[in-house]
């Protein structure tokens, strides 16, 4: 089955059907989806770009908090 980009309504339907706090939809091509109850966006953890972005944020935080202070 080919991936397609889910609309906000389809994301809401998926969340309602699966009742999951973490959005992990392998059929959705979006790496960021609307949050269910607030303003903003959330990661689709089934998309590899989400993991790359999260790793980059963690690496930046580690660098700024620990490595840069030691130098």
What is the distance between the alpha carbons of residues 34 and 28, in angstroms, rounded to a whole number? 13
What is the distance between the alpha carbons of residues 44 and 46, in angstroms, rounded to a whole number? 5
Cα 46 to Cα 17, 26, 52, 66, 68, distances in angstroms: 17, 5, 12, 30, 32
H helices within the chain, ranges in order? 8-18, 48-62, 68-70
**Which structural domain range is residue 32 located in?**
8-70
Please check whether residue 1 lies inside any domain of the structure: no
pLDDT tens digits, residue range 1-43?
Answer: 568 999 999 999 999 999 888 999 999 999 999 998 889 999 9
Global pTM? 0.80
- Of 21-25, 46-50, 63-67, where does the model show the most confidence? 46-50
How many domains would you assign to the chain? 1
Please check whether residue 3 lies inside any domain of the structure: no
């Amino acid at each position: 089955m080919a991936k397609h980009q889910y609309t906000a309504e389809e994301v809401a339907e998926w969340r309602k059907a699966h009742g999951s706090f973490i959005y992990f939809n392998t059929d959705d091509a979006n790496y960021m989806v609307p949050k269910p109850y607030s303003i903003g966006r959330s990661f689709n953890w089934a998309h590899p770009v989400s993991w790359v972005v999260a790793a980059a944020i963690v690496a930046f935080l580690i660098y700024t908090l620990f490595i840069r202070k030691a130098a």
